[in-house]
Structure 1
């Protein structure tokens, strides 16, 4: 017997039963659904009649915790172009805990790279895959920007999608942080997106600094008051 979820075979079993015997099997399909669908088919193919049912389940494709392809790691590496000159590349590793593949595209925007992209796919049967995107940034500089992945197109705010902000050096440390996905125009479009500024980072000042500043201000006020008093 073959078991299918959303048209993808997930198991094959051949139980041997004597006359009068029964066989029971319980499956957890929660990790097997194609999250891009709203109606899901579950079927069992046998030597006799096939059994099939439909389950309705809607997934929030913007949720990074659903079982679908997501950005797992970001690295910056050096390679060479067609002329043999050194260039920087963003090495973007995707993971996919689902049994279904989600073909999409990944684009990188930095202050020097305005929408360089590649196809992104974790093949069925593999847990992760890496896409390499050429950058226009100096390989010896600190590179900062945003990475967008979408199975429907980076100008679409639906489908499986993910976005990361990153900052780092080629063959060095790279910091990255997941962002809420923002649909943007492709390079060459009238509304093409350009990365200009990093995310707003608010510097945290520990409370003791406020206390020290308050003591200093109070001291200045007292000294100024004393000077005015003794100058009378």
Structure 2
């Protein structure tokens, strides 16, 4: 079934092995071993150092807020297994705030809040193709800001189903974005940021923020700069 596990005190160690069902599990320390099994599982308040096994389904990790003071450089690559050196596997989405180091994040389709924290941080996003959870993406509309502000603006991912996923990306200085097949809009809100944008079909509008590159694989209409 859909299990719910939460430790009452931080600093404890949790070993959780889920079966079927959409489980919700809260981390307790960097020594945790959390295995969601099958289903769409949510791992909340996760510490860097924990071992997370998402298994089948659409699984999400939310980083514990206290990790924002970590000074090490963190790499999260969901295309190659997860948090490099920290044993995340089978994770499709991540949210939360990273630490004070120079962090690197690779997420195929980010649809939740993510803050790079301090340091000089880089993020790679790809909204081409489709997946079982989100389906296809018809267009993206991003107004990217490095360090907060612009509270009335957010990033929007328009799904082929008609649903719109709105969220915020903050605290990153370097962006590498592959767009959708639709009419994408990407604007850097802070000068000094770096953008690499790879457009597909569609009439894309791109505003740079510094030393930028734009790649056009197929051009059915104009790209506006």
Shorter-chain-normalised TM-score: which range?
under 0.3
What TM-score comes out, normalization by structure 1 length? 0.22
Higher helix share: 1
Which is higher, the Rg of structure 1 or of structure 2? 1
What TM-score comes out, normalization by structure 2 length? 0.23
Query: 1 or 2 for the larger relative contact order (CA 8 Å, sep ≥6)?
Result: 1
